[in-house]
Amino acid sequence: MEIETPYIEDRVDGGVPVRRWTRGVPVETGALDQLANTAKLPIVGPYVAAMPDVHVGIGATVGSVVPTRGAIIPAAVGVDIGCGMIASRTTLVATDLPDTLRPLRNAIERAVPHGFAKRGRDRGRWERSPPAAADTAWSTLADDFAALCATHPTLARTNHRMHLGTLGSGNHFIELCLDEADRVWVMLHSGSRGVGNAIGQHFIALAREAALRDDVHLPDRDLAWFAEGTQPFDDYVRAVGWAQRYAAANRAVMLDLVLDAMRGVIDTPFDAAAEAVNCHHNYVQRERHFDLDLWITRKGAVSARAGELGIIPGSMGARSFIVRGKGCADSFTSCSHGAGRVLSRSAAHRRLTLDDHVAATARVECRKDAGVLDESPAAYKDIDAVMAAQADLVEVVHTLKQVVCVKG
């Protein structure tokens, strides 16, 4: 009798297999096509892993783990380099929160710049000078950034310092949540902001140019790679590593700003956990799997080594989870980074109504306007189905339900 594996294995003509942890979760045809394209690259293997939140991305699929030998695909990492999550439990409980949560949300929105550039004004940057916490973080990044700019001067023309400690827009968020014991958590989602985007765009373009110059035939032009041992590869590894450090620092600074903002509204004195869970879900690093030295790109996936803590958020109106990795070798010790989109942003705006959104977020203090319909719960997969599909990858440590949500 054949034993059913927790994953589905797709055979790819002319490529390595794709293993998908998607039982009970819908997967769009476009995502399957992108996974197959990635699996056909000669640098990829022994197989591609897809998490249950998998959905169409640019070039490489969001929710995929791409192992490469002697090469890195910049577009597989993407432009939101180091994007990820941070979460910290506080000593507060639900009854310590004010009866009306709007002032708490307002305080957080004032404390952390968020949003996007509009009519020449970047609402998501510090208007004057960054706070002391951001300056301290920048001091650990400045010298290496100057060295990057000496080689790639276009990177200097970014909001690198003025974005440190800011949220961004789109699906980035700050939330206050309650766990199963009604303890208050702070959780937020962001990455390397404008400078990470500039690094990603710059090196993706360089990889495309190299593929055209060398007449490399690709199933998708966004799957061009840098080969190890070349100068562009070395430059990219240095740049992407810096952006990942920036992203982690960005989240840590914002966490401190949110905690300070909360203290201005909440009467009860409180502390936060000594060490927060701070994890990337768009990044690349060298790892050893199956006795092979590989570059592992997690594009919308989280490291889930045995005992390692991670964060898997749901949508604005759904539950989120603090998880502990089970160290599953078959998934390259990885798990999903969230629920995963089931509707594109444009499709969500076409199909969802403001009444739908208001009903789905009835118990959350958050934006309830048409501008966030693409982030409404119905735009995402069922987080419970996503968690069930990866039961062999992680175990749930805490279940969180948001009560305040700030969206960019």
Of the residues 337, 349, 357, 398, only one is catalytic, namely 337
Which ranges of 264-372 does DSSP label H, i.e. alpha helix? 345-351, 354-360
Question: In which element (H, E) is residue 133 found?
Answer: helix 132-139
For residue 34, the Cα-to-chain-centroid distance in whole angstroms is: 19
Is 40 in contact with 54 (CB distance < 8 Å)? no
C-alpha to C-alpha distance for 93 and 180, rounded to whole angstroms: 11
Question: In which element (H, E) is residue 299 found?
Answer: strand 292-299
202 is an active site residue: no
Closest among 80, 168, 81 to 124, alpha carbons compared: 168
Residue 311 is encoded by which pair of tokens? 């964060």
Residue 147 is encoded by which pair of tokens? 């060295």
Closest among 64, 91, 88 to 10, alpha carbons compared: 64
Q: CA quadruple 148, 153, 159, 162: dihedral positive or negative?
A: positive
Is 314 in contact with 361 (CB distance < 8 Å)? no
C-alpha to C-alpha distance for 358 and 362, rounded to whole angstroms: 6
Contact partners, residue 81, CB within 8 Å, separation at least 6: 191, 192, 196, 199, 200, 240, 243, 244, 247, 282, 283
Question: In which element (H, E) is residue 49 found?
Answer: strand 48-55
Q: What is the residue whose two structure tokens read 């956990």?
A: 273
Q: What is the residue whose two structure tokens read 């054949």?
A: 2
Buried b / exposed e over 176-192, threshold 16 CB at 10 Å, is bbbbeeebbbbbbbbbb
Angle, in degrees to the nearest 10, between helices 132-139 and 231-263: 160
Active site residues: 337
